[in-house]
Structure 1
Amino acid sequence: MIFIRRAELNDAAQIQRVYASTNTYAGTLQLPHPSVEMWQERLKQVNPDDTLLVAVYDGVLVGTAGLHIESKARRRHAASLGLGIADSFTGRGIGTALLAELLNLADNWLNLLRTELTVFTDNAHAIHLYNKFGFEIEGTFRSYALRNGVYVDAHSMARLHPKQPRIPVTGR
């Protein structure tokens, strides 16, 4: 059974293990060999407007998800998100459970219109997950980040609140 809850300071060691997974750090902008101390500091410094969730599967912390609301006044309707799932727990619904909870918060509690993310173009599983929840590719960043000594591309994806009306853009 998957249990989703807010991350706590004493989760640092388990979060460190998630991001020590080869595919997890390769799929994010994290560096290899994260330390527990680094995660303790990150958890101490979480912005109160941000949400950091963890997924616990059979008593083991196996994934994280963050929702980061934009701070600029004209962008407060938007937030970026990120996910990380331990390599040995992919394909078990962890990402689906975390993303569903983040989008529940975004849609029903945080008054967000737009949820954004960046995903490497070769991460087919993540792109499939995001498409399942209504995210669309809006563009591609060429040579976005260095991974294993090679610059790789990434997609910018976004999802608009499914029930929020939008004012259509018209030509002049």
Structure 2
Amino acid sequence: MMIYELKNGKRLSIRRAQERDAKELVEMYNKLGMESDNLTFGVDDYYLNVDQEKNLIYNLNNRDNCIYLVALIDGKIVGNLTFIASQRKRLMHRGEMGIAVLKDYWNLGIGNSLMDYFFKWVQSTEKIKKVELQVREDNIAAINLYLKWGFKFEGKISKGIMVNGKYYDLYYMGRTIGW
């Protein structure tokens, strides 16, 4: 576990997700689906139930090239970061990162803190050589965070996501590690 001080002076704890977090995570995802149009799911569209979330946490915790992080303020989960890499030998060195923060906690530095913890883990594993992600073209705050952490634009997925009947392009971004 690592502790960070946020812009509002509160303390943020970041640690690996545990199976006991599954119910709170599913609730957080369902709330996020109502709050943000930047995610791949909307209201009542998160695809895992509590048991499936427990299984995901268990599986990711038992793989050395994946991580599932939770960010907590006063013991409440307010955000997370997942990194899921392949089990195929030719692809084990790369994976996709996703990050989400509840709207009430935007602009406090939680995303930056999650990235700090994540990249410290990446350096410690020496297994991960490429981090990839997709971000909606108009999610400027997220794009700026990713650029700050060394991500580069690698492509664009035209009409990559549809929200409320409108299509948006997705930027494909990546960061190589140690090359």
Place the TM-score, normalised by the shorter chain, in its bin.
Answer: 0.7 to 0.9
The corresponding residue for 2:17 is 7
Deviation at 1:43, TM superposition (A): 2.4
SS state at 1:107 partner = helix
Distance (whole Å) between structure 1 residues aligned to residue 123 and residue 48 of structure 2? 33
Q: Which runs of 4+ in 1 moved over 6 A?
A: none
Percent identity between the two aligned chains: 26
Pairing 1:138–2:154 present: yes
Q: Which amino acid aligns with 2:80?
A: T
Would you say the 8 A contact 1:12–1:36 is kept in 2?
A: no
Aligned Cα RMSD in Å?
Answer: 2.0
The corresponding residue for 1:129 is 145
Would you say the 8 A contact 2:26–2:53 is kept in 1?
A: no
Pairing 1:64–2:75 present: no
**Cα deviations by residue, 1:82-122 (Å, 9 ceiling, x for unpaired):** 00100100111111111111111122224211111011111
**Cα deviations by residue, 1:49-87 (Å, 9 ceiling, x for unpaired):** 231110001222100110111222212111210001001
TM-score by length of 2: 0.82
Matches within 5 A, 1:92-171: 92-161=108-177, 164-165=178-179
SS state at 1:146 partner = strand
Distance (whole Å) between structure 2 residues aligned to residue 118 and residue 37 of structure 1? 20
SS state at 1:53 partner = strand
How many aligned residue pairs are there? 162
The corresponding residue for 2:41 is 30
The corresponding residue for 1:79 is 95
Distance (whole Å) between structure 1 residues aligned to residue 77 and residue 97 of structure 2? 19
Distance (whole Å) between structure 2 residues aligned to residue 147 and residue 79 of structure 1? 25
TM-score by length of 1: 0.85
Change (3 A) 1:98 1:133: same
The runs of 5 or more residues in structure 1 that have no matched partner are 166-172
Distance (whole Å) between structure 1 residues aligned to residue 80 and residue 51 of structure 2? 14
Q: Which amino acid aligns with 1:11?
A: D
Q: Which amino acid aligns with 1:101?
A: Y
